C-alpha cells in the first residue's frame, strides 16, 4: 500500500526540478540565502508565491526558487536526494515516508480542509450514470497518485454508503490532465481542488457527487511543507525565516485572494479569470495537534500506513501550533 524506502530514494535520481518559477524575482541579491522549494501546482502554493513576490522571504534574508512538481512522492524523493530544501504536498506521502524511516519532519502547514468552505469535490461527467457512492463500484478514478488521501477517502466514502471501495480503480494522471481524461471518458470520476476544480465547474461538463474528505473529519490539515532532519538541524535560522514568511503570507493571502490570482495562474498554467471566479483554498497560519492526528489516524485505519503514530513525532519545532504541542 505504500512505497518502499528505496523507491522514494530512487525517485530522487529521476525527479527533475523543471517547472514554472512562480515569483517575480529573477535573481537573488548577494546577501540573500537561496532556498529551493518544490510544490505541487495547486492554489495552496499562493502563500509561497506571494511570500517571494512581496518580499516577505527577502525580509528574512531568503530568496525562494519555487518550482512545480506534480507528485508528493517525487517531491519527498528530491528532498531526500538533496535536490531541494523544502517541499510541499498532501500529508499521505509524508506519512508513508516517515513510516519507511525517511528523515523528514513537517515544518509548516499549507492548506486546511474545512467542510464549511469545501475546496475538494468529487466530480463525474455531466451525463454520467454515476449518482451514488455505490455506483462507483468497479469504476476508474483519476488522481495525482494511485494511493493518496483523495483516493483513500473516496474508497472509505463508498464503503460508508453502501459501495465497495476496494473495487474502485485509480490511475495516476497529472492534475492539469484529469478533467481532460474525465471529459474523454477515460476515467469515471475525479476529485479536484483549485484551480482545477474551478476550471471543471466553469466548463459545464461535470456534475458534483459529494465531499468524500468529510469521511476523515470536518476540518483537518490537508497539505504541509517538509524538510529533512539534517537540513533543519544545520539551518535553524533559515527554517525559522521560512516559516515566519510563510505564516505572514498565509495571513495576508487568505484576506486578499484577488492579489494572488496572477501568481497562481502563472504557476499552474490556468486561466486567471477562471481562478478569480472560483473557490479558493484556505491556507493555515498555524494548526492544532488534532488537525494532524485526524488524517494520520485515518491513514492507519485504511491501510495507507502500517503502524500508528502520535502526530507529535512528525512535527519540527518550527511548526506554528495553536494549543498544546
Phi, psi of 162 (to 5 degrees): 85, 10
Q: Residue 44 is placed in which grid cell?
A: 495552496
CB 13 within 8 A of CB 80: no
Q: Residue 170 is placed in which grid cell?
A: 485509480
Q: What is the DSSP letter of 259?
A: G
How many CA atoms does the CB half-sphere of 23 hold within 13 Å? 25
CATH of domain 5-114+219-314: 3.40.190.10
Q: What is the DSSP letter of 132?
A: S
Residue extents of the structural domains in the chain:
5-114+219-314, 121-210
- Between the CA of residue 206 and those of 127, 185, 254, 276, 308, what are the distances in Å? 8, 12, 27, 19, 38
Q: Tell me, which fold does domain 121-210 have in CATH?
A: D-Maltodextrin-Binding Protein; domain 2 (3.40.190)
CB 106 within 8 A of CB 184: no
Same fold, 5-114+219-314 and 121-210: yes
Phi, psi of 130 (to 5 degrees): -80, 125
Order of strands, sheet of 121-125, starting from the edge strand that comes earlier in the sequence? 169-172, 140-143, 189-192, 121-125, 206-210
CB 154 within 8 A of CB 176: no
In tens digits, what is the pLDDT along the chain, a chain of 325 residues?
344 444 433 434 333 333 333 333 444 456 899 999 999 899 999 999 999 999 999 999 999 999 998 777 889 999 999 999 999 988 888 898 988 999 999 999 999 999 999 999 999 999 999 999 999 999 999 998 888 899 999 999 999 999 999 999 999 998 889 999 999 999 999 999 888 998 899 899 999 999 999 999 999 999 999 999 999 999 999 999 999 999 999 999 999 999 999 999 999 998 999 899 888 898 998 999 999 999 999 999 998 888 899 999 999 999 998 877 6
Cα(203)–Cα(200) distance, rounded to whole angstroms?
A: 5
Cα(155)–Cα(145) distance, rounded to whole angstroms?
A: 14
β-bridge mates for residue 257, sequence order: none
Cis peptide before 75 (omega within 30 of 0): no
β-bridge mates for residue 207, sequence order: 124
Helix axes 91-99, 289-301, angle to 10 degrees: 70
Cβ atoms within 10 A of the Cβ of 317, count?
12
pTM: 0.84
Q: What is the DSSP letter of 295?
A: H
Q: Which residue has the cell 491556507?
A: 283
β-bridge mates for residue 124, sequence order: 189, 207
Amino acid at each position: 500500500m505504500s512505497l518502499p524506502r528505496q523507491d522514494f530514494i530512487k525517485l530522487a535520481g529521476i525527479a527533475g526540478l523543471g517547472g514554472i518559477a512562480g515569483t517575480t524575482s529573477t535573481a537573488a541579491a548577494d546577501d540573500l540565502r537561496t532556498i529551493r522549494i518544490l510544490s505541487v501546482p495547486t492554489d495552496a502554493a499562493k502563500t509561497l508565491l506571494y511570500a517571494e513576490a512581496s518580499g516577505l522571504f527577502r525580509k528574512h534574508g531568503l530568496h525562494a526558487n519555487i518550482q512545480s512538481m506534480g507528485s508528493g512522492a517525487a517531491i519527498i524523493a528530491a528532498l531526500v536526494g538533496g535536490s531541494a530544501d523544502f517541499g510541499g504536498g498532501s500529508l499521505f506521502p509524508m506519512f508513508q515516508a516517515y513510516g519507511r524511516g525517511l528523515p523528514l519532519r513537517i515544518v509548516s502547514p499549507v492548506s486546511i480542509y474545512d467542510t464549511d468552505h469545501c475546496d475538494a469535490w468529487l466530480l463525474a461527467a455531466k451525463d454520467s450514470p454515476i449518482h451514488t457512492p455505490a455506483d462507483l463500484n468497479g469504476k476508474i478514478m483519476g488522481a495525482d497518485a494511485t494511493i493518496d488521501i483523495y483516493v483513500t477517502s473516496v474508497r472509505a466514502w463508498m464503503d460508508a454508503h453502501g459501495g465497495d471501495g476496494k473495487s474502485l480503480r485509480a490511475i495516476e494522471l497529472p492534475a492539469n490532465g484529469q478533467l481532460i481524461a474525465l471529459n474523454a471518458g477515460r476515467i469515471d470520476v475525479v476529485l479536484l481542488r483549485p484551480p482545477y476544480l474551478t476550471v471543471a465547474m466553469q466548463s459545464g461538463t461535470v456534475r458534483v457527487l459529494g465531499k468524500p474528505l468529510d469521511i476523515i473529519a470536518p476540518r483537518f490539515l490537508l497539505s504541509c511543507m517538509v524538510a529533512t532532519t539534517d537540513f533543519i538541524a544545520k539551518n535553524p535560522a533559515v527554517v525559522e525565516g521560512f516559516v515566519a514568511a510563510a505564516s505572514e503570507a498565509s495571513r495576508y493571502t487568505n484576506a486578499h485572494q484577488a492579489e494572488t490570482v496572477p501568481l497562481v495562474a502563472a504557476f499552474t498554467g490556468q486561466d486567471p479569470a477562471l481562478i478569480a471566479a472560483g473557490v479558493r483554498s484556505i491556507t493555515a497560519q498555524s494548526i492544532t495537534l488534532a488537525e494532524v492526528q485526524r488524517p494520520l489516524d485515518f491513514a492507519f485505519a485504511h491501510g495507507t500506513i502500517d503502524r500508528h503514530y502520535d502526530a507529535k513525532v512528525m512535527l519540527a519545532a518550527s511548526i506554528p501550533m495553536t494549543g498544546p504541542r
